[in-house]
Structure 1
Amino acid sequence: MPHLSVSPLIVAISSRALFDLEESHAVFEQQGVEAYALWQIAREDQPLQAGPAFPLVKKLLALNQADPSAPTVEVILLSRNSADTGLRVFNAIRHHGLDISRAVFTSGGNLWPYAAAFQAHLFLSLDPEDARLALQAGLAAAVILPPGDTTPSPETARGPLRLAFDGDAVLFSDASERIYEERGLAAFHEHESLSAHEPLPDGPFRPLLEALQRIQQRHAPDLCPIRTALVTSRGAPAHERVIRTLRAWNIRVDELLFLGGLDKAEFLVAFGADIFFDDHTGHCESARRFVPAGHVPRAKG
């Protein structure tokens, strides 16, 4: 049991994001609930293979090795399986040696309310509607997309946990981005220059960044097991408002990349990102050629 005085980073993850359940999901879609249940029960002692979020979860849980009595991270499994068919998922957790003890099986019900009930700092799913509903409820949430090469390099697997974030519509609100989309780049630059001393409104991932910083503050900078980066398409003169916003929030990111519209993928490789969060599908598709990407769906309309 975690100490009550410790406030760990809480990550909720769907079973389909953690494990490869695509074959069984196809059985469910093609043959229905009863056939799916029989299929899973017949195979409940067959280990599930790693899903797109598995390497990230392994690195998250590795943060607890320094002091297992006061965990830094807790990972909670959320699944649309029933408790009966979910036994295979728990067997897979044990097989892979994952320190996950809390889980919810909803028998087809929504997952995001339980992410909220657990006060998760992050919810990862393969279902865009799951992520969208969680974001509307005020949670940081994303659809995780696996990289083209799903095998992390030895350096990435051993090194610090590296999380990279887009700015607008992720760490910050999408208000400024909507100006760019509706009125163009010149209007966007003018607005950001005039508003340079006005902090950007919060985006859905600000609480996650704050939780990560609380962990970072427990460690000497050269020994910190987490590194963060803001990787934004902004460039000068739209840089100043970002810097002043982070200063107003009293948040430090380890690396800040103003790319001025350049493709982000190669820079994410240079950073060694374990995951990159962005609201643009195109940016995520480009990034996922090399690193896992978390697509942050924006509100409809």
Structure 2
Amino acid sequence: MPEVTGPLIVGISTRALFDLREEHSVFEEQGVEAYAALQREREQVVLPKGTGFDVVDRLLGLNPAEGPPLVQVVLISRNSPDLSLRAFHSIAEYGLGIKHGSFVSGRPAGPLVQAWSVDLFLSNEEGDVRMAADAGTAAARLHPPPERAALAPEDEVRIAFDGDAVLFDAASDEIYKAHGLDAFLAHERANAHVPMNRGPFGHFLRKLAAVRGQVMRDDGSSRVRLALVTARNAPAHERVVLTFREWGTPFDEAHFVGHHIKAPFVEAFGAHIFFDDQEKHVLGARGVAPAGHVPGPHAPDELIVPAAK
């Protein structure tokens, strides 16, 4: 694989970084003028933290005190430049190292993801997330923040992923959907030593793994902790482990949960964010961790569980 160069770049919308549910309800019910007036009135009032705040804060905390940054964060917002003042005032008050942003006055923010060379895009806006994903960027639509934050060392960030159609492509899922469980298991056993193709979050994982390797502790652990939480179980687990080995992207934890609910494993891991392409898993996990839905091939009411009971 080619060497990973440059910092990990995260793009995030204003509503994903901060909790703007009250202001957004004014926008939806009273229109843009009332929304703008409210934002100007509260220009010096610090915005509360949103779903993506903690993971962004922790990723930025990986940067060294001197030298090139490992992580950069860019604000990509549908707000107007005039209303950007409150966002950057809040960023300064929280001490976040965010200096760059784009504000497009209501236009779709998706095209700016490519302009900023973003590796991961987080937003509440479905259209922007899909536009970014269609262009090949790892992207997720965030749900409202959980009521309680994960407990973890302050200098550590923990990220949990689903596997198929997120880290890996959806080829194996499609075999399961078209031909059933027995065909899926036979295919995975026969191809156990054939690495899977990278999915929508594959490039992001490569860059995140590069950052992970640069923030190792003396005891051999990393300040970036990664977990896989997948509905696969044995014997389909072997191909997953060997794929990660081939990719050179080590994981700290892997949970092959089959038909078990994913949320308890996400909570036990202490995830600062969890990514899944199936809406039902995201809805289940959002009460215990920040959760993002990755656009994928499955209908919202469809649950794909490629595992025997």
TM-score for the superposition, normalised by structure 2? 0.89
Amino acid corresponding to residue 35 of structure 1 in structure 2: A
CA distance in 2, matches of 1:28, 1:280: 29
Is the alpha carbon distance of 1:170 and 1:92 closer, same or farther for their aligned partners in structure 2, counting shifts above 3 Å? same
- Structure 2 residue aligned with 1:41: 40
- 2:70 alignment counterpart: 72
Q: 1:110/1:30 Cα in 2 relative to 1: closer, same or farther (>3 Å)?
A: same
**3-state SS in 2 of match to 1:173:** coil
Shift of residue 115, structure 1, vs aligned partner: 1.6
Structure-to-structure mapping, 1:96-115, within 5 angstroms: 96-115=94-113
User: Residues 23, 157 of structure 1: CA spacing in aligned structure 2 closer, same or farther, 3 A cutoff?
Assistant: farther
Please tell me the residue identity of whatever aligns with 2:240. V
Match of 2:223 in 1: 225
- Pick the aligned partner of 1:158 from 150, 154, 158: 154
Match of 1:89, as an amino acid? A
Question: Cα distance, 1:299 vs. partner?
Answer: 4.7
Aligned AA (1:250): G
Q: Determine the C-alpha separation between the residues in 1 that align with 2:47 and 2:177.
A: 43
Contact 1:169 1:203 in 2 (8 A): yes
What letter corresponds to residue 114 of structure 1 in structure 2?
L
Give the SS at the match of 2:74.
Answer: strand
Seen in structure 2, the aligned counterparts of structure 1 residues 81 and 157 have a Cα distance that, compared at 3 Å, is: farther
The answer to whether the 8 Å contact 2:159/2:227 transfers is: yes
Kindly provide the amino acid, as one letter, of the partner of residue 30 in structure 2.
Answer: Q
Q: 1:55-204 alignment to 2 at 5 Å? A: 55-64=54-63, 66-153=64-151, 156=152, 158-204=154-200
Deviation for aligned residue 1:223: 4.8
1:31 and 2:30 aligned: yes
Distance of aligned partners of 1:300 and 1:217 in 2 relative to their CA distance in 1, 3 Å threshold: closer
Aligned to 2:302: none
Distance 2:215 2:47 in 1: 35
Give 2:200's aligned amino acid: P
Cα contact 1:6–1:70 (8 A) shared by 2: no
The structural deviation recorded for 1:240 is 2.0
**Matched residue of 1:59: which SS?**
helix
> What SS is found at the alignment partner of 1:63?
coil
Deviation at 1:142, TM superposition (A): 0.5
Which of 208, 221, 244 is the matching residue for 1:212?
A: 208
C-alpha deviation, 1:80, in angstroms: 0.5
Report Cα offsets for 1:249-268 as digits up to 9, x if no partner. 22222222222232122222
Q: 1:147 to 1:80 in 2, by over 3 A?
A: closer
Q: Which residue of 1 aligns with 2:255?
A: 257
* 1:24-52 Cα distance to aligned partner (Å, 9 max, x none): 21222222222222221222112211111
Partners in 1 of 2:43 and 2:15 — Cα distance? 15
CA gap of 1:108–1:299, structure 2 versus 1, over 3 A, is farther
**What's the offset of the Cα at 1:247?**
2.5
Alpha carbons 2:50, 2:145 under 8 Å: kept: no
The 3 A distance-change label for structure 1 pair 239 and 6 is: closer
Whether the 8 Å CA contact 2:215–2:222 is kept in 1: the answer is yes
Aligned to 1:234: 232
TM-score by length of structure 1 reads 0.91
Instruction: Deviation per CA, 1:167-205: give whole Å up to 9, x if none.
Output: 000000112112222332222112212222322121011
Asked if the contact 2:150–2:271 (Cα under 8 Å) also holds between the matched residues in 1, the reply is no
Q: How far, CA to CA, are the matches of 2:203 and 2:259 in structure 1? A: 26
Q: Corresponding residue for 1:293?
A: 291
Aligned partners of 2:298 and 2:127: how far apart in 1?
11
- How far residue 8 of structure 1 moved from its aligned partner, in angstroms, is 1.4
Point out where structure 2 has 5 or more consecutive residues left out of the alignment: 300-309
Does the 8 Å contact 1:132/1:299 carry over to 2? no
What runs of 5+ residues in structure 1 fail to find an aligned partner?
none
Q: Distance in 1 between matches of 2:137 and 2:270?
A: 26
Of 267, 279, 282, 2:280 maps to 282
CA distance in 1, matches of 2:155, 2:268: 14
| % same residue | 47
Deviation at 1:218, TM superposition (A): 2.0
Q: Within 1, Cα distance between the matches of 2:53 and 2:118?
A: 18
What is the total number of aligned residue pairs between the two structures? 294
CA offsets per residue over residues 120-176 of structure 1, 9 Å max, x none?
Answer: 1100001222212211110000112245323333xx252521111110000001121
